[in-house]
Amino acid sequence: MAWKRKDLVSMQDTEAAEIIEVLDTAESMKEIATREIKKVPTLRGKTIVNLFYEASTRTRTSFEIAGKWLSADVINFSGSGSSAEKGESFLDTAKNIEAMSPNVVVVRHKAPGGPALLARHLKCSVINAGDGAHEHPTQALLDLLTIRQKKGHLEGLNVTIVGDITHSRVARSDIHAMRKMGMTVTVAGPPTLIPAGCQDMGVKVSHRLEEAIAHADVIMMLRLQHERMTGGFIPSLREYSRVWGLTLDRLTHCRPDVLIMHPGPVNRGVELSPEVADSQYSVILDQVTNGVAVRMAVLYLLADRRAA
C-alpha cells in the first residue's frame, strides 16, 4: 500500500504513488454506486465527523454519502449554531470532538492552514475538505479520476484552468496533483486574479482565453465569486463574462475532444454559458459522481490504515 500518512491535508504533500492508489481504489468503489443496496460493511464501527465551518452542500453531502455507503457512523457538525458561535476556538472545538474518539475528522474551514493545524494537534485522521484559498485535495483527486476515465490516461495531457486563480483552492490542488501526474498546466485569467509567483509553481500563465484553451485537452473553469468586484479585482461581472466566459463560439477553436470541467457551483452565464455547461464536452456531473467514489477511497485508506 502506498498510502501511509495519517492525514490528507494537501496535494502538495501527497506523492504520485499515493494519488494513483486513491484513484485505483476509487475505481473499485464506483461499482458500489451501481448496486441496488448501496452499502458495504468496510467501515462499520468507525466514526467520521464532518466538521464544516463554511457553507458547503456538495462536498459535505459527498463525504456524508461516502461514509454511509461504507457503513461508517457519520456525524455532521457545522460551524454555525454550535459552540463556535459561543466563542470556543476552532482548536478547542476540535479537541472536544476528538475526546469522543472519532476515526476521521473531515474539516472545511475558511482559514488556510486550518486542517493542517488540526492534523498537528489531533491523533485521529484529518481530511482537508477545503481551507480558504489553500487546497481542496479531494476535489483534485476527483478531477483526476474524471479525466483518467474520459481520456484513458493522465500523463502528457494539457489542462487549462481559467478564472480566479488567486482565490481558488481547487486551482492550487489541481496544479500540484496534475503536475505530479505529468500533465501540463496553464492558468488563465485577468492579471488581477493570477497570484504572485504562480509561474514558479510550474505552470504557464496566460492572459488571453483563446490562446490558453487552443491546445487544451481539459478546460477547468472556475467559479467567479460575486464579491470580487468590491475587492477591486475586476470591474464588473458583465465585463468578466465577456472577456473570460466560455461560450460555444469560443469552443470552436478548441480540440474536438476537449473536456469542460467545473468544480461547482456554476454561475451560468458568467464563467460558463448554459449551452457549454450542458454540452457534450461537459463532464461536470461526472465530477460530482466521482466525488463520492474518491471520498470513499480516501476514507477507506485513512480509516482503515491502522487496522491494516
* Rounded least distance, CB 187 to other proteins, Å: 11
Q: Is 108 helix (H, G, I), strand (E, B) or coil?
A: strand
Answer yes or no: are the C-beta atoms of 109 and 169 closer than 8 Å: no
* Rounded least distance, CB 131 to other proteins, Å: 7
Nearer to other proteins, 123 or 306 (CB): 123
Nearer to other proteins, 194 or 292 (CB): 194
Which run of H or E residues covers position 97? helix 90-98
* Rounded least distance, CB 117 to other proteins, Å: 7
The Cα 220–Cα 117 span in angstroms is 30
* Rounded least distance, CB 237 to other proteins, Å: 21
Nearer to other proteins, 99 or 196 (CB): 196
Q: Is 46 helix (H, G, I), strand (E, B) or coil?
A: coil
Q: Identify the residue whose cell numbers are 483563446.
A: 210
Answer yes or no: are the C-beta atoms of 206 and 236 closer than 8 Å: no
Answer yes or no: are the C-beta atoms of 147 and 299 closer than 8 Å: no
Nearer to other proteins, 111 or 258 (CB): 111
- Residue 214 is placed in which grid cell? 487552443
* Rounded least distance, CB 260 to other proteins, Å: 25
Where does this chain bind other proteins (CB under 8 A)? 12, 89-91, 109, 111-114, 116-117, 131-135, 169, 172, 195-198, 200-201
Nearer to other proteins, 90 or 289 (CB): 90
Q: Are strands 104-109 and 125-131 parallel, antiparallel or unpaired?
A: parallel
